[in-house]
């Protein structure tokens, strides 16, 4: 037989595009359209419905950037359509390739009842099925003219990302506003042809099944009367019955489809627009659930559910009913789909506390899965946090974006720093916006790496990023793929149903140990420095506020600010969303974030001050409050008292220019360029700075990645570097030296100081930054031979290699740390600590002094200047603090990391304040002291082993204790099998902790 595949396939495409799809709506009449443009921000629904619109014609331009237009469409169903299904086709000017990324609408009835959302892949509104003819139709559309930021030529700088700079030029052309007959038979034919055509294209050319489909399609095309598609559609469908009925082979891959609409809580749109995106999507999904009995939809991010409840109560009522029916499923158990690299220990825990508690309180549902399809890599401390929250599974997809190395598993157990293992799944479909295309389904089956031992995978199905969700076309395709020869099988299931099946069939999957590093989007550890600083400082202020408020509540009856702390925590958690904290959102988002963080800092400082005043009492004694988890200058952790001066620092001239700082513990040599050429540990008789090198070296790189400007830094950035050694002045200042440099259009002022009695060189850097597409680093070349280094993460630290033996190691050329990195030779090490930066790199170099040993350079990432999506990223003044700590063990790194982030506070009072709780070993770090969230007055203490070894310690309560219970993160008692009952003797609890073990204790007050 002659090979006519290409001929038939080309015929199928043209007939579908030009004849069959247009025949889905064979008859139409125009609707009358009028519009009212809201003058500013979005208005309440009642106001939009009551406004008096003005006529507008199809073809007219509408919609200033970020504006809201209320369209009223009205018309009469023709009598001739009696008995037919009729829909309104409302095309606001959509580009079908951009669902979620452009204009959208929410349709209402005149009484304010929401009907469904409109987006580029969902333009229809059902009017009647069947109609009687003569019905009057009136619909209102709340249309958002969100500008297209990520266009066909992506990453071009644009001012559209902020309402203050976007202008008023209309963005869209009103394209179609019609009533139309909906021919379901033709619509079903479209889906038949699409599913078979897409499946055929994925089958081997020499397979019989491919040719069976080809011949059936040819017969169907022959059966279509191109001048009467509607009259011949049923005949054409009959030619496809046989090939659509052929069952899948028993070994076919099995896909659990989960209805999904990954909605970024902010990204190329502001937070306020996400509120409306969620309303549109949930309206669509509740309507679809009513029409499709097998469909299941899952939505994560408790914050988005809370927005619906607060802002769209009429939509919330439908959502609650669908949840009660088991079809609309809360997923993930987190407040938002957060970044997991940068949030601190407590913040990562609270993501689960607030997320899970919302779903429990609202629906009585507890999630067993963490749901993070789009997060940019996963910190090594996350598994035990998931377990401590009462969950046991993790889903993500983003690791498939890695540029260099292909991850070896799709289903596996992920082991964290303490040994906790979490059953984890990466959907092999490689998208969290699956649309049920044949290419996607075939890719999932081919790509699945666990063939032979497992057969199940998950496909999050629906338009996402900007929302929209699953469509009726996706559901129709899934129905055809339920049991179809040549394809994987597809069925709708909840995340729980998928994970139960996957874990049952694969009880002993392979294990991956350590972080799940994404080999992409590394620059998100640095972009938008002020957003990152706001997050870090908010986390520590929250810890302080809880600590002092709890202490004051127990000691003085101070009113514990439950509601304020709950609200502030939720705001901070929201801003940890994986495009806000990473710095990859538009300018509007980060402008608002800066204002929000400033407001929260003022509120939290007020709570701290009020609690401390209640504790200090009236008096003139100068008290120092120490909120850090370690004793500082004789002041116990969580207490307050007087401190005394400890020695002095001498500043002298350095031979050859510059200055020397000496406090008897360290001797720091600063040359005439303001560079640290010596950091000498006097007691250890050991130099820290690599020979012939200089620390505190600012280095400037060109930074123009191939894609994803705010997200990416590509390895070739290292090919060019400028050492910023020119200096304007180097002058003594107090116990240190002040250095000023100018470069390009920017200016840097640094103060290097060595406080009396301290083993750390403090580097205070202020940058007035006005560069473009540049990357600023701060380098510390250290005379330490280290094959690995420690990087702090949630509730501990983990090690990364300093070498690049393999492609996996080489790919980690930019990585995340929290408060410190630490490297050491046996018996002696160095830490670099920070107050607000995350990105860094560590490299090895052979010494140049003939010693043949190696040195190790730590470089801290300070600032970038990408131009997309925010063309003014990081322009302006920034201040950072870092410290170099020679002679540091891992315990010193932990302690100094806390010290630089939690400064002491001074207040006059009556006398010392004893801590509410104390721990007698530095290795046990208390991360939270608070009152229980249920208002019982119980004291909750959370702590972990921080040095990476086993620890015995005693925790002492500074109050009368009636009992103590080990709990999960939600402060619920753990079963004896999960955690032995704490050993309470009087006020004391004996602790035995394994490396990095996380523990929460709840003390009942007597």
Annotate 575-603 with DSSP letters as a single string.
TTBTTTTTT-S-HHHHHHHHHHHHHHHHH
CB atoms within 10 A of CB 249: 11
Q: Contact, 420 vs 457, CB < 8 A?
A: no
CB atoms within 10 A of CB 26: 16
Catalytic annotation present for 325: no
Instruction: Label the pairing between strands 32-37 and 411-415.
Output: unpaired
Cα gap 211→68, rounded to integer Å = 52
Three-class DSSP category at 421: strand
Element (H, E) at 651: strand 650-653
Q: Which residue has the tokens 């799809």?
A: 21
Nearest Cα neighbor of 1005 from 938, 953, 951 is 938
Task: HSE, CB side, 13 Å, CA atoms: give it for residue 146.
Answer: 32
| Cross-strand bridge partners of residue 796 | 793
CB burial string 866-888: b at 16+ within 10 A, e below: bbbbbbbbbbeebebbbbbbbbb
Give the rounded distance of the alpha carbon of 31 from its chain centre. 43
For the CA atoms of 279, 280, 281, 287, the dihedral, rounded to the nearest 10 degrees, stands at 100
Q: Is the dihedral of CA 212, 218, 221, 223 positive or negative?
A: negative
Instruction: Label the pairing between strands 369-371 and 650-653.
Output: unpaired
Residue 972, C-beta contacts closer than 8 angstroms, at least 6 positions apart: 390
Give the rounded distance of the alpha carbon of 870 from its chain centre. 18
Cα gap 624→642, rounded to integer Å = 6
Tally: H helices and E strands in the chain: 19, 53
Residue 996, C-beta contacts closer than 8 angstroms, at least 6 positions apart: 381, 384, 417, 418, 795, 796, 944, 945, 946, 948
Instruction: Label the pairing between strands 650-653 and 176-182.
Output: unpaired
Tokens representing 106?
A: 């929410």
Nearest Cα neighbor of 784 from 751, 823, 746 is 823
CB atoms within 10 A of CB 447: 18
Strand order in the sheet with 85-91: 28-30, 176-182, 85-91, 124-128
Nearest Cα neighbor of 5 from 167, 200, 235, 239 is 200
Residue tagged active-site, from 162, 212, 339, 374: 374
Phi-psi region of 59 (alpha: psi -120 to 50; beta: other; left: phi over 0): left
Q: Give the catalytic positions in this structure.
A: 374
């Amino acid at each position: 037989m002659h090979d006519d595949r290409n001929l038939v396939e080309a015929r199928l495409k043209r007939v579908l595009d030009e004849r069959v799809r247009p025949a889905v709506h064979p008859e139409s009449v125009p609707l009358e359209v009028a519009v009212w443009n809201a003058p500013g921000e979005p208005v309440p629904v009642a106001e939009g419905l009551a406004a008096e619109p003005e006529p507008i014609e199809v073809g007219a331009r509408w919609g200033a950037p970020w504006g809201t237009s209320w369209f009223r469409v009205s018309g009469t169903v023709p009598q001739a359509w009696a008995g037919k299904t009729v829909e309104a086709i409302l095309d606001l000017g959509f580009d079908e390739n951009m669902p979620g990324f452009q204009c959208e609408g929410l349709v209402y009835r005149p009484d304010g009842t929401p009907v469904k959302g409109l987006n580029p892949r969902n333009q229809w509104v059902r009017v009647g099925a069947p109609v009687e003819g003569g019905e009057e139709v009136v619909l209102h559309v709340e249309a958002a003219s969100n500008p297209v930021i990520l266009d066909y030529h992506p990453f071009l700088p644009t001012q559209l990302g902020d309402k203050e700079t976007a202008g008023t030029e209309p963005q869209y052309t009103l394209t179609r506003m019609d009533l139309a007959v909906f021919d379901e038979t033709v619509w079903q034919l479209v889906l038949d042809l699409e599913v078979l055509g897409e499946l055929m294209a994925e089958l081997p050319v020499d397979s019989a099944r491919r040719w069976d489909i080809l011949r059936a399609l040819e017969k169907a095309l022959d059966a279509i009367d191109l001048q009467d598609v509607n009259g011949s559609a049923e005949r054409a469908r009959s030619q496809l019955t046989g090939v659509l009925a052929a069952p899948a082979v028993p070994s076919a891959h099995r896909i659990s489809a989960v209805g999904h609409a990954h909605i970024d809580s902010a990204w190329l749109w502001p937070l306020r627009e996400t509120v409306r995106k969620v309303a549109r999507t949930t309206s669509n999904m509740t309507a679809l659930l009513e029409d499709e009995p097998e469909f299941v939809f899952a939505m994560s991010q408790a914050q988005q559910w809370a927005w619906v409840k607060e802002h769209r109560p009429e939509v919330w009522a439908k959502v609650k009913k669908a949840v009660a029916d088991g079809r609309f499923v809360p997923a993930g158990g987190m407040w938002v789909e957060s970044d997991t690299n940068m949030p601190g220990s407590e913040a990562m825990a609270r993501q689960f506390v607030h997320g899970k508690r919302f779903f429990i309180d609202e629906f009585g549902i507890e999630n067993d899965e963490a749901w993070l399809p789009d997060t940019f890599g996963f910190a090594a401390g996350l598994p035990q946090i998931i377990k401590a929250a009462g969950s046991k599974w993790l889903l993500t997809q983003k690791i498939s974006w890695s540029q260099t190395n292909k991850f070896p598993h799709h289903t596996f157990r992920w082991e964290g720093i303490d040994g906790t293992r979490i059953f984890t799944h990466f959907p092999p479909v490689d998208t969290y916006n699956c649309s049920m295309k044949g290419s996607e389904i075939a890719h999932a089956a081919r790509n699945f790496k666990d063939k032979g031992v497992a057969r199940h995978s998950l496909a999050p199905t629906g338009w996402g990023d900007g929302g929209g969700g699953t469509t009726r076309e996706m559901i129709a395709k899934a129905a055809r793929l339920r049991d179809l020869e040549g394809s994987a099988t597809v069925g709708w299931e909840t995340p729980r149903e998928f994970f139960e099946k996957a874990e049952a069939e694969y009880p002993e999957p392979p294990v991956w140990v350590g972080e799940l590093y994404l080999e992409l989007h590394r620059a998100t550890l640095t972009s938008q420095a002020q957003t990152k600083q706001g997050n870090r400082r908010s986390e520590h202020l929250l810890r302080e506020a809880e600590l002092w408020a709890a202490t004051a509540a127990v000691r003085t009856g101070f009113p514990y600010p439950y509601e304020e702390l709950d609200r502030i925590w939720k705001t901070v958690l929201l801003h940890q969303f994986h495009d806000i904290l990473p710095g990859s959102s538009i300018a509007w988002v980060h402008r608002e974030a800066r204002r929000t963080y400033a407001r929260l800092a003022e509120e939290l400082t007020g709570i701290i001050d009020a609690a401390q005043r209640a504790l200090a009492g009236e008096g003139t004694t100068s008290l120092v409050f120490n909120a850090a988890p370690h004793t500082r200058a004789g002041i116990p952790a969580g207490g307050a008292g007087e401190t005394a001066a400890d020695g002095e620092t001498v500043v002298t001239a350095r031979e050859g220019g510059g200055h020397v700082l000496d406090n008897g513990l360290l001797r720091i040599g600063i040359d005439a360029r303001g560079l640290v050429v010596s950091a000498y540990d006097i007691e250890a008789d050991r130099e820290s700075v690599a020979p012939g090198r200089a620390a505190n070296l600012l280095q400037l790189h060109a930074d123009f990645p191939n894609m994803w400007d705010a997200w990416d830094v590509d390895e070739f950035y290292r090919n060019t570097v400028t050492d910023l050694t020119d200096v304007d002045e180097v002058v003594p200042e107090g116990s240190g030296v002040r250095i000023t440099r100018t470069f390009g259009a920017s200016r840097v002022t640094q103060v290097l100081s060595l406080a009396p009695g301290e083993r750390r060189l403090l580097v205070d850097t202020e940058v007035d930054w006005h560069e473009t597409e540049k990357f600023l680093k701060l380098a510390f070349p250290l005379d330490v031979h280290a094959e690995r280094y420690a990087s702090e993460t949630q509730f501990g630290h983990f090690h990364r290699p300093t070498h690049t033996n393999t492609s996996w190691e080489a790919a980690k050329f930019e990585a995340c740390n929290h408060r410190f990195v630490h490297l050491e030779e046996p018996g002696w090490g160095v830490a670099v600590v920070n107050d607000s930066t995350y990105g860094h790199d560590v490299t090895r170099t052979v010494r140049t002094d003939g010693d043949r040993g190696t040195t190790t350079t730590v470089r801290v990432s300070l600032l970038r200047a990408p131009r997309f999506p925010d063309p003014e990223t990081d322009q302006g003044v920034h201040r950072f603090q870092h410290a170099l700590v020679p002679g540091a063990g891992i315990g010193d790194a932990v302690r100094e990391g806390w010290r630089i982030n939690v400064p002491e506070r001074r207040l006059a009072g009556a006398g010392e304040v004893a801590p509410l709780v104390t721990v007698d070993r530095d290795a046990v770090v208390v991360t939270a002291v608070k009152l229980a969230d249920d208002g019982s007055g119980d004291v909750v203490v959370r702590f972990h082993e921080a040095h990476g070894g086993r620890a015995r310690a005693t925790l002492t309560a500074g109050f009368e204790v009636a009992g103590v219970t080990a709990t999960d993160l939600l402060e619920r008692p753990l079963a004896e099998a999960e955690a032995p009952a704490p050993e309470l003797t009087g006020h004391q609890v004996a602790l035995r902790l394994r490396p990095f073990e996380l523990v929460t204790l709840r003390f009942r007050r007597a």
